Structure 1
Amino acid sequence: MDNRLNIMLLNDIEDQIKDMFSGNELITLTNEFAKSVGENVTIQVVGFNSKKDILSKNISDMSDNAKIKFFDQLKTIERVSDNPKLVMKIDELIASKLPLIENTRNNITNLLSDYSSNITTAWKESVIFYNDQKYRGALDSIRLTLELLLKKLLGNDKSLENQKALLGKFLKEHNVSIQFVNLFLRELDMYEKIQNDEVKHNIPEHLSKKEIEFLMNQAVLIIKFLDRCNNEEK
């Protein structure tokens, strides 16, 4: 199932909202909201941009989670709240996304519960930190989740950086091709490098919200792939 927001419904809502506000108001609404959640949007002055362009582009720059928060806040503005049909559409848009976000998180929680409680705890902490916009904590915790999972799968107590040889052997034993093993290890190398350079000893102030979200998603993909390998016959 596609976990993106309903595009047709989103366009319909944008078409109605653009007629309720001036270009400058849309600039203020989208830019101030993006700043409040640690994200950036492209259009910061009206210039030659139409109201539709301002709204569509700046909303598209936001993560799906931020879009949901933006529309949830938008409903509280009197011009919007006075239009019950529009409010219903916004509620429908939000409702279409929230279960998918929750399902993804629950799926990972259930997946990790087959291993050990400390792995599940680290994962849950990463979600809590992320929801609270404490991104250093979120990235640290999801890195710990991955590190603990590898220790469990490989039967040792090595750090993430020192698992490469045994991890390569583990993947080959689970019928992963040498080309894909090399690709996987390169991806893991890059993930570690960014974590070490930008996160491990610093607040990740040089990373944008979308880059932080990418790192979180990358770790989830790695975790899901390792679990699938572990649960398939050698």
Structure 2
Amino acid sequence: MFVLELDGKYQACAGYKETARPTAGKFSVSSYYSTEWKGADAPSLRIEGLSTDEVYENLVRQIAGSELISNKDESLCDTIKREERRKKLQRKIDALKRKIRKKTVEQADRDERGIEKDGERVKGFVMFMEDTPLKIDSAFLTYACNILAKTDSWLSGTKIVEYCCQYAIDYNKKIPYGTYPFDASNKRTALLENLKVFDALEQFQIIKDLCELSELRKLKSVQELKIKLYERYGKFAGQKFSETELIQNTKHWLSGYPTALKQYESALTKYEGGIFERNTLDDIRLAFELLVKALLNNDKSLENQIAAIGSMLKDSGASAELRNMITVLIRYYTDFQNNHVKHNDAVNDSEIEYVIELTSVIMKFLIKVVNGGTLTDGQNAHGNAGYYGSEYR
């Protein structure tokens, strides 16, 4: 802690330290807080607490003031982490709003050039969008509340109030039902009316977080809700994995193979929703397998296609080194799927993302080889669908 002095005024500063390496006694400062500049006669800080930890926490809270608003029985560590999450979410919300409004302006400009040169009308339209809050469709909100707060669910009226109050503080909103018992007709209504005061980006985050509660996340109805949330409103989740250049290019090349593309998109939806980890890998493997069946015009499993893939690459003029690299990768790929996914072994998130990206790279390469480097609705350079014929049905 420090006290700074400038022109007869004083400012108290404090850094919140966390243990970085417990065994080595190392600490790192995660956040800094300070008071306003005050005169020498300003109220001093109070020394309160029955231990050095309590004294330190109380001093940090006094210095931070309104920057750290604590919930009942919440530790300083939890308060700071919650505040950091709130700031991170707010930055994401602000960035998404700028992105959405930028697209709106660009679309308005395109429409304007196509109709008439009327700058005032575009300006008025943009001002209208600036003042118009983004909302998720009310029917979807009702659907979500009916699942999350149904009569026999773990999410009790007390829990609904607790979570909603937390988000009201984080997003600086006033909710109609902030105490329990409430006078709403039921839990679903209370949750729905509270959700309505938030904008769409905030509603998306709240519904997502509720779906991920340990007590709810394994329920099939909650998992289906989360999938639909991402399918319809995934644009509010920040930059999506499916919007990266690699994924977009792969979907472009898969457009001539609709059965494979459907499974590929299913895998992406499940991955972005953070659910069905095993199903995500099942879908991405099936997308790959369906593509290879279409390219080779047979019904063999992926592990039984490796030799044929090597022959296809050889006939297409690929070097021996590249052929060996691709076939070895596919062999390891099928071993990974068979040894881990089929036995439901735990697979971490970074591995899932890597498998999706690896699958995307290989699929895109195989399609380009067969098509002679051009995309013509699944046709190769000789006008034939696939390597040996039409797409597998």
How would you bin the TM-score normalised by the shorter chain? 0.5 to 0.7
* CA deviations over 1:123-166 (Å, ceiling 9, x no partner): 11101110122211110000000000000001111000100121
Q: Is the 8 A contact 1:126 1:142 kept in 2?
A: yes
| Matched residue, 1:201 | 343
Give the whole-Å Cα distance in 1 for the aligned partners of 2:248 and 2:88.
Answer: 37
Say if 1:146 and 1:100 are closer, same or farther in 2 by CA, change over 3 A: closer
Identity %: 29
1:142 paired with 2:142, answer no
TM norm structure 1: 0.61
The 5 A counterparts of 1:1-234 are 22-24=16-18, 47-51=25-29, 77=86, 87=91, 91=95, 98=239, 101-104=242-245, 105-115=247-257, 117-133=258-274, 134-202=276-344, 204-205=345-346, 207-232=347-372
What is the RMSD of the two structures over their aligned residues, measured on CA atoms?
Answer: 3.5
Displacement after TM superposition at 1:107 (Å): 2.7
Give the whole-Å Cα distance in 2 for the aligned partners of 1:79 and 1:99.
Answer: 17
Aligned with 1:158: secondary structure?
coil
* Structure with greater helix percent: 1
TM norm structure 2: 0.38
Give the whole-Å Cα distance in 1 for the aligned partners of 2:349 and 2:25.
Answer: 26
Higher Cα Rg, which structure: 2
121-130 or 101-110, which deviates more: 101-110
* CA deviations over 1:43-91 (Å, ceiling 9, x no partner): 6859414336xxxxxxxxxxxxxxxxxxxx977626996xxxxx48973
Give the whole-Å Cα distance in 2 for the aligned partners of 1:151 and 1:44.
Answer: 52
Q: Is the 8 A contact 2:242 2:268 kept in 1?
A: no
Aligned with 1:22: secondary structure?
strand
Say if 1:210 and 1:44 are closer, same or farther in 2 by CA, change over 3 A: farther
Displacement after TM superposition at 1:23 (Å): 3.6
Q: Is the 8 A contact 2:293 2:299 kept in 1?
A: yes
Say if 1:193 and 1:91 are closer, same or farther in 2 by CA, change over 3 A: same
* Structure with greater strand percent: 2
Give the whole-Å Cα distance in 2 for the aligned partners of 1:197 and 1:219.
Answer: 17
Aligned with 1:77: secondary structure?
helix
Give the whole-Å Cα distance in 2 for the aligned partners of 1:21 and 1:80.
Answer: 23
Displacement after TM superposition at 1:179 (Å): 1.6
Q: Please, which runs of 5 or more residues in structure 1 have no aligned partner?
A: 1-18, 28-42, 53-72, 82-86
Aligned with 1:50: secondary structure?
strand
What count of residue pairs does the alignment treat as equivalent?
A: 169
Aligned with 1:176: secondary structure?
coil
